[in-house]
Structure 1
């Protein structure tokens, strides 16, 4: 699967040479690891840097003047700006996920059991465990998925469980209460009628229901009307968030933590943000780039979830701007590719 290329910065990078790029990479790497401003002594001797501390200091000043670094306090070291992080991501920070972590994610995705919603929930939690950032999986709604099978289960006391298996391998369950009695044979006959009506249709398809007054026909009408009513509330994309407990550990201020938690509860915001990034051909958004003020102190990494050439959602991570970008990008890619492969195989089996 081909992921979108990172968005390139609109500012010119003509002022960046090999030594400046190495110094910038060293500053960002050190700042990601420590969360503290970085001085020349800290990065002296880092990989790719053979210059003296005085020369490094000169390069730090030049990088600050060009907008890649900033100095929080006069006596402090320097920290990256959004422009600095953007250059790092686009040119330097495409690191890989360690083989043990790749194996950990791949094995989990291949073996996790449960209905599709549970699988998404478990995988998002696993991705968060591996990266230490809150993880999000956006799965498709059921607008375009069709019903593959339908069953009715009699709970007694005029309560019926409707079970629908969808073409995307999701299983929907809905309990309805009746105002009339049904026999075991009524439920069996109604289930057969329900299959004939629903298989091959989507949850938003509307058609004429049987007008006869037999008990099975009445049960079918109740079941279909309940399905249609439920579909009107749940047609949109489904959002599965893992690792919300890690938000406090990922961000430096309580206000940012609160804002991130608030965003993670707003599914429409997450879906819109991911769609916007992917439509712009971006895989990483840093700070204010996405234009959403509550996440101005955050970075977002997203990978498309594509099944047999069709868009099926996205896999994303939210973290601070000092996120471990290379690892986060690689982890999102692994999950999107492995999950898409699993879903494709399951769809073919069905």
Structure 2
């Protein structure tokens, strides 16, 4: 069956709006469910099985869907995710294709940083604008325990390479977990201030593959801020649009630190995100329990208008919020590594 189709003449862009009036302009595109780390809050030590390669979207299919999103649906920003997106073969070439059109959305990437030192310059040259790097600890033994891999030195080199390549701002994401690494919150922030990175702390969420998430082990935004305030003087920064992070400026510096309180201070009312999994399933929420199969449309020969209609229908059905903590909340069947961050 055909996997590509000639582009239709681009119609006037209509906002991608749900029934609550939220306009969606940000697309997260997972390029693989595979990862070269085994973070304890994300994956079990062994498994789960990876998606078969024929089920993954091809480069042509990713490029086509991003073009439809940008030209017909008003998508303005695209973040490439995984799994670990740096494991995608030929990634700089794919980035160059996504960045080529004059109306291309701004491209960023979320990575664990393990392979970033050898790819940062090529990705920046291809058109990538910035990176988010996951880093939950600065201690080698703890990093090895958390990720089940001894790769902290590689991540630190990757951060420096991203900064040198001009992938700015370089954002560092950490997930504090009670009894594991919450004591490093001030230390991680100080590291980011010293090196010119933008630190963000993220409340842990029930998206691990092994289903072991426990709310009592989640370090809340209030606790994170309390620990930060013990070391730094902080000044609130006005929230920019639908940005998920609440931010504070570290007084006496140009540094900004953020907290993403997805559980205790949900920002669902302003959400502008939609997600595409590595196997071509469209999700209107990180915690969605249903998906729309865009890959089947692509490989069945659907034209751009049909794909646009399916996309709009999926987003129109988006709920008011994730509902974590409510009696009706149900975890998604897929873990974060298979959904895309």
TM-score, normalised to structure 2, is 0.24
Which entry has the higher C-alpha Rg, 1 or 2? 1
**Which of the pair has the greater relative contact order for Cα pairs under 8 Å at 6+ separation?**
2
TM-score, normalised to structure 1, is 0.23
Report which of the two has the higher share of helix.
1
